[in-house]
């Protein structure tokens, strides 16, 4: 099989779930029912060495809640000592002053805190955890005090679509540098609850058009998106590093047992980092190859945004259609309008 | 001596597979037909301020040589050992590349 020389030599980022254990049960969680066992410390250290040797630049701990995982600081310190830039996504509930100091000591590059609404009650309901909003804000304050850069991650959904911009002031007030607006993924609990939480394609179109205007007007924090279908917003030049989804092109997901998947939202195992050569998986996995070489189907065929969008978010397409190539179900472009 | 240094906040790496391929073609230009785009592939990836930049073989070589120990003349000498191009042309390419990178704040030239 021919190696794809157009690909980067290795993933830039590994999204690493050290464990799926969590202190929350959020309405959109993709990992609620995944119970893969973890690895011994030595194996985890071996993985960190291997990733560093392959030139992986970033390791982002997720899960599960990373702060529930007992050896997080050890692993993070080891990984950053090996030359990896270490980050994590946390719900912030356990991130008290002492944890923030440990995070700083372990060499974390930055920490993302999940906040899904500027309204306390709405966030707490979405996260199914009373008090979680206040603890998330306190986590940002503790990180700032400890000198650790922070960001805020927000999953766009029906409960926050009309007032998400209230999060901008919240980020400024609590020292978060970037607000990441994530598209709603229909995996795990996200699939089970999509009826009440996901937006319609037209609503996604309106949301992105409005959010881009706000992004242009805001200077003190960065507003960042991760949805390839934004290419379809008129006049928008996404200037992304790669066309379409980044998973399988810039990043991979590592499960607690060492299995690799293209991303956390695509539960297809493509190999095991301790048993298989990372190069073999990265360059030759048939699953990755088909994700990277999509064929436009349906309304994507002939769409002028296809070059940049590549049919949208591969994880969402896969979750809802079982294939990689179908048009993103969130896409608001109508074939008739386009052709007319 | 004004030495060239990469901005310290920038994350970067050499794309080894691509560099290897580009060097093979540089040594044996007949192989360019196998993959006409190979000389434009990014052999160095830079991440700065949330933006990803890719440098081709020449840019990537210059980037790696800007390690705080060389000035322009020393970088040029090293490049002449890799690229079979006359000194004047290579010097112009180097100046253009550095102007761009210094303008973006990715490389510094300091006494
Ligand atoms: S029709 Fe397909 S390619 Fe065009 S914007 Fe929609 S998902 Fe993207």
The per-residue pLDDT for range A242-282, each reduced to its tens digit, is: 899 999 999 999 999 999 999 998 999 999 999 999 999 99
pTM assigned to the model: 0.91
For ligand 1, whether the C-beta of A311 sits within 6 Å is yes
Query: Do the Cβ atoms of A222 and B50 come within 8 Å?
Result: yes
Q: What is the CATH number of the domain that holds B83?
A: 3.90.930.60
For residue A299, give the ligand 1 atom closest to its CA.
1
**pLDDT classification of A194: cutoffs 50, 70, 90:** confident
Distance A67 CA to ligand 1 centre (A): 38
For ligand 1, whether the C-beta of A303 sits within 6 Å is yes
All residues at 6 or more sequence positions from A7 whose CB lies less than 8 Å from its CB, including other chains: A249, A282, A283, A292, B17
- Comparing A36 with B27, the larger pLDDT belongs to B27
Write out pLDDT tens, residues B93-110.
Answer: 999 999 999 999 999 999
d(CA A286, CA A313): 19
d(CA A164, CA A159): 9
User: How is residue A317 written in tokens?
Assistant: 């397409």
For chains A and B, what is the number of CB pairs under 8 angstroms?
A: 36
For ligand 1, whether the C-beta of A255 sits within 6 Å is no
**pLDDT classification of A135: cutoffs 50, 70, 90:** very high
Residue A202, exposed/middle/buried by CB under 10 A (0-12, 13-18, 19+)? Answer: exposed
Is 90 exceeded by the pLDDT of residue A336?
no
Write out pLDDT tens, residues B43-96.
Answer: 999 999 888 999 999 999 999 999 999 999 999 999 999 998 999 999 999 999
Q: Provide the strand spans (E) within chain A.
A: 13-17, 58-62, 85-90, 108-114, 150-155, 176-182, 222-225, 251-254, 259-261, 271-272
Q: How far is B13 from chain A (nearest CA, A)?
A: 7
Q: Which residues of A touch B45 (CB under 8 A)?
A: 8, 12
Count CB atoms within 10 A of the CB of residue B74. 14
For residue A304, give the ligand 1 atom closest to its CA.
4
Q: How would DSSP label each residue in A40-87?
A: -HHHHHHHHHHHHHTT--EEEEESS-GGGSTTHHHHHHHHHHTT-EEE
For residue A300, give the ligand 1 atom closest to its CA.
2
- Minimum-distance CB partner of A12 among B14, B35, B45: B45
Is 70 exceeded by the pLDDT of residue A30?
no
Task: Quote the domain boundaries for residue B82.
Answer: 3-110
Ligand 1 pocket: which of A294, A307, A311, A338 to mutate (most atoms within 8 A of CB): A311
Is 70 exceeded by the pLDDT of residue A338?
no
Write out pLDDT tens, residues A57-85.
Answer: 999 999 889 999 989 999 999 999 999 99
Q: Which residues pair with A271 in a beta bridge?
A: A260
Q: How far is B73 from chain A (nearest CA, A)?
A: 30
Query: Do the Cβ atoms of B52 and A241 come within 8 Å?
Result: yes
Q: How many domains, in total, are found in chain B? A: 1
């Amino acid at each position: 099989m021919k190696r794809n020389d157009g690909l980067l030599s290795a993933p830039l980022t590994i999204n690493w779930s050290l464990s799926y254990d969590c202190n929350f049960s959020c309405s959109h969680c993709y990992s609620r029912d995944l119970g893969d066992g973890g690895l011994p410390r030595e194996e985890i250290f071996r993985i960190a060495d291997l990733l560093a040797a392959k030139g992986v630049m970033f390791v982002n701990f997720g899960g599960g809640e990373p702060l529930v995982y007992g050896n997080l600081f050890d692993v993070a310190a080891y990984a950053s000592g090996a030359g990896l830039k270490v980050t994590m996504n946390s719900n912030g509930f356990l991130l008290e002053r002492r944890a923030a100091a440990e995070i700083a000591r372990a060499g974390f590059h930055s920490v993302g805190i999940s906040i899904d609404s500027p309204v306390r009650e709405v966030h707490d309901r979405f996260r199914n955890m009373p008090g979680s909003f206040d603890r998330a804000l306190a986590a940002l304050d503790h990180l700032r005090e400890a000198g650790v850069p922070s960001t805020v991650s927000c999953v766009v959904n029906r409960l926050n679509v009309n007032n998400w911009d209230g999060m901008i002031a919240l980020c400024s007030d609590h020292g978060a540098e970037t607000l990441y607006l994530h598209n709603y993924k229909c995996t795990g609990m996200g699939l089970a609850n999509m009826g009440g939480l996901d937006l319609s394609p037209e609503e996604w179109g309106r949301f992105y058009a409005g959010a881009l205007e706000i992004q242009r007007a805001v200077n003190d924090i960065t507003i960042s998106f991760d949805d390839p279908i934004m290419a379809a917003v008129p006049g928008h030049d996404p200037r992304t590093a790669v066309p379409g989804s980044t998973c399988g092109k810039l990043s991979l997901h590592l499960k607690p047992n060492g299995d690799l998947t293209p991303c956390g939202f695509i539960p297809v195992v493509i190999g095991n980092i301790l048993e298989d050569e990372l190069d073999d998986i990265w360059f030759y996995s048939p699953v990755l190859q088909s994700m990277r070489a999509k064929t436009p189907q349906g309304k994507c065929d002939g769409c002028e945004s296809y070059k940049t969008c590549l049919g949208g978010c591969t994880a969402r397409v896969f979750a809802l259609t079982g294939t990689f190539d179908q048009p993103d179900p969130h896409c608001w472009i109508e074939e008739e309008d386009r052709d007319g | 001596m004004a030495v060239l240094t990469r901005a310290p906040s920038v994350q970067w790496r050499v794309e080894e597979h691509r560099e290897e391929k580009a060097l093979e073609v540089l040594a044996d230009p007949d192989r360019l037909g196998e993959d006409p785009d190979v000389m434009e592939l990014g052999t160095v990836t830079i991440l700065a301020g949330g933006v990803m930049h890719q440098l081709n073989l020449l840019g990537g070589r210059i980037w790696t040589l800007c390690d705080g120990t060389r000035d322009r003349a020393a970088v040029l000498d090293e490049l002449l050992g890799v690229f079979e191009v006359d000194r004047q042309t290579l010097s112009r390419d180097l100046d253009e590349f550095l102007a761009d990178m210094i303008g973006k704040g990715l490389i510094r030239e300091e006494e």
